[in-house]
Every structure is written in structure tokens, then in C-alpha cells.
């Protein structure tokens, strides 16, 4: 039963699996994003309150959800690496960090652009916005800590601890609209019960969310290959993977 777990801990297996999965993830992401964009931008009806401005939801919400998901993935991989000393976990965590940081930045910028017409301001020191900004700082902190060490293994472990400690911020971001009086809208999809959004607006959103997730998976796999190579440079399997077969597709 545990064989699949052991396989996941093996760098050559992970490298090969990542390489094979990239085109599938990218293709599926393209389909989901394509449908979501067309439906969301052109077909879905304008909101009765926000007009066409609501369409920014189709990039804002997926990127915000992903910013949290990617941090959780990073923290989980870090925890696995620290507890069970599985080095692949560090590779996953290192690969996920810049992707998650970029999604967090995207969420903040798209949210800011959406806030200007809706709330009249580009920024507010509101619990949701502030905790999302803290999330960005946490990502940057993890990446900076990892690169500050001369010994990459030590850097990996230090960054892993910080990533694990910082995961407390993820529920804070998610529940901030529940726990405090926030300017930001409450949860409409990730909550118990049916989503509180019309179907014609919801489907493109779900598709964009799925597309972003698949895209993250694809980019993670590409970066993961690089991270695994960096950590396993002198091993035999790397020699065989790199020298003997010059792969064309990443």
C-alpha cells in the first residue's frame, strides 16, 4: 500500500513523472482557461450591481484561492520533508514558492483594480487585504531564507520550518471575512452549503479556478524538475537522464 508513497519520495521517479505530466496539465489548463475566459468575458451576463466590472472576478478569485492553496502545498511538502526527511519535499516546496508569490501578487493587484471602481479606493487596511499582503511577505521570507544559507540543505530545512510556521496565516486569510467586519465580500464558493452565485456566472469561474490549478500543476512540474536536478546533480540517475537522452520537451 505504501509503495506509491515510497515512489513519490524517489527523485528519479518524481523527475520522470513531472516531465511526463507537464503537457497534459498544460493542455487541460489551456482548455479550462480558454473556456472560462470566453464564457466569463463574453457570454456571462453583466452583474446588476457591478456591471461588467464584476468580470475581474474571473482572474481575481482563482489567483487568490491559488495563493492560499499553493502556500498550503508548500507548507505540507515542507512538513513532510522535515518530519520524514524526504528531500523531494524540499524540492516541491522550493518549486512552489515563486509560483505562489506571483499568484498572491496577482490577487492583490487584480483586487486593487477591482476595488477602485467598486469601493472607491485602490487599497484599504482591511483584514482580508492585510492578511493577503502578509501572505506575500511570508512567501518572500521563505524564499529569502532559503537562499541566505551557503549550505543548500540547511537552507532547505530552515525555509521549510518557516513555511510550516507561517501556515497559520492561511486560515486567517480565509476566515478574515467571517471573523471581522471586512470591506471585502464574504465567501461565495469555498464554504459549507451551495454557492451563492448564479450558475451563468459560476461555471466560468469554476472553470478558471480549475484552469489556474492545472496551470499551477504544470508550472510546478517544470520547476520541480529543475529543483530536483539541482539537488541531485552528482547522482547516477541524473547522468543517465541528462547525458544519454537529450530530452527536447521540458
Partner 1 sequence: MDNTFWSMGGYARYVWPCFAFACAVLAWNLWSARRYHAAARLRAQRALQMAGGGES
Partner 2 sequence: MNVGSQVGSIEAFTLIVRRELCLSFRRPDQLLQPLVFFLIVTTLFPLGLSLQLSLLRDMAPGVLWVAALLSSLLSVDSLFKSDADDGTLEQLALCGQGLTVIVVAKTFAHWLVSGAALVLVSPVVGTALGIPTGVFPTMMLSLTLGTLTLSWLGAIGAGLTVGLKRGNVLLSLIVLPLAMPLLIFGAGATDRAISGSSAAGALYFLAALCVFTCTLAPFAATVALRITLE
Q: Quick check: 242 binds partner 2 (CB under 8 A)?
A: no
Q: Which residue reads 508548500 in cell numbers?
A: 74
- The pattern of x and - marking residues 59 through 98 that bind partner 1 according to CB under 8 A reads xx--x----------------------------------x
Decide: is 144 part of the binding site for partner 2 (CB under 8 A): yes
Q: Which of 8, 28, 6, 5 shows the shortest CA–CA distance to 17?
A: 8
Residue 154 lies near partner 2 (rule: CB under 8 A): yes
Task: Name the binder of 233 from partner 1, partner 2, none, CB < 5-8 A by kind.
Answer: partner 1
Q: Is 174 in the site for partner 1 (CB under 8 A)?
A: no
Give residue 250's Cα distance to chain centre. Answer: 20
In this structure, the number of other CB atoms found within 10 A of the CB of residue 62 comes to 28
Beta bridge partners of 51: 47
137 near partner 2 (CB under 8 A): yes
Residues in the chain: 250
Cα 73 from chain centroid (whole Å): 8
* Helix, strand or coil, per DSSP, at residue 51: strand
Interactions with partner 1, residue window 6-45 (CB under 8 A):
37, 41-42
User: Rounded distance, CA 122 to CA 126, Å?
Assistant: 12
Distances (CA, A) of 228 to 192, 203, 223: 38, 37, 9
Binding residues for partner 2, rule: CB under 8 A, are 82, 130, 134, 137-138, 140-141, 144-145, 148-149, 154, 157-158, 161-162, 164-166, 169, 172
Binding residues for partner 1, rule: CB under 8 A, are 37, 41-42, 46, 51-53, 55-56, 59-60, 63, 98-99, 102-103, 105-106, 109-110, 113-114, 116-117, 215, 218-219, 222-223, 225-227, 229-230, 233-234, 238-239, 242-243, 250
Amino acid at each position: 500500500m505504501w509503495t506509491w508513497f515510497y515512489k513519490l519520495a524517489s527523485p528519479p521517479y518524481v523527475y520522470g513523472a513531472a516531465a511526463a505530466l507537464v503537457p497534459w496539465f498544460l493542455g487541460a489548463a489551456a482548455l479550462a482557461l480558454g473556456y472560462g475566459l470566453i464564457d466569463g468575458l463574453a457570454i456571462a451576463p453583466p452583474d446588476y450591481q457591478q456591471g461588467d466590472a464584476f468580470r475581474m472576478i474571473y482572474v481575481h478569485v482563482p489567483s487568490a484561492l491559488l495563493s492560499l492553496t499553493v502556500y498550503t502545498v508548500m507548507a505540507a511538502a515542507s512538513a513532510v520533508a522535515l518530519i520524514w526527511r524526504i528531500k523531494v519535499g524540499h524540492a516541491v516546496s522550493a518549486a512552489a514558492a515563486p509560483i505562489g508569490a506571483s499568484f498572491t501578487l496577482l490577487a492583490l493587484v487584480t483586487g486593487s483594480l477591482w476595488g477602485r471602481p467598486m469601493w472607491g479606493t485602490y487599497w484599504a487596511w482591511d483584514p482580508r487585504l492585510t492578511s493577503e499582503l502578509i501572505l506575500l511577505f511570508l512567501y518572500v521570507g521563505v524564499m529569502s531564507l532559503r537562499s541566505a544559507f551557503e549550505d543548500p540543505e540547511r537552507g532547505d530545512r530552515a525555509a521549510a520550518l518557516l513555511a510550516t510556521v507561517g501556515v497559520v496565516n492561511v486560515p486567517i486569510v480565509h476566515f478574515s471575512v467571517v471573523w471581522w467586519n471586512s470591506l471585502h465580500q464574504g465567501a461565495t464558493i469555498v464554504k459549507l452549503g451551495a454557492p451563492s452565485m448564479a450558475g451563468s456566472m459560476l461555471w466560468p469561474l469554476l472553470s478558471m479556478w480549475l484552469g489556474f490549478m492545472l496551470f499551477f500543476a504544470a508550472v510546478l512540474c517544470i520547476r520541480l524538475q529543475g529543483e530536483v536536478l539541482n539537488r541531485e546533480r552528482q547522482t547516477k540517475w541524473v547522468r543517465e537522464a541528462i547525458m544519454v537522452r537529450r530530452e527536447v520537451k521540458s
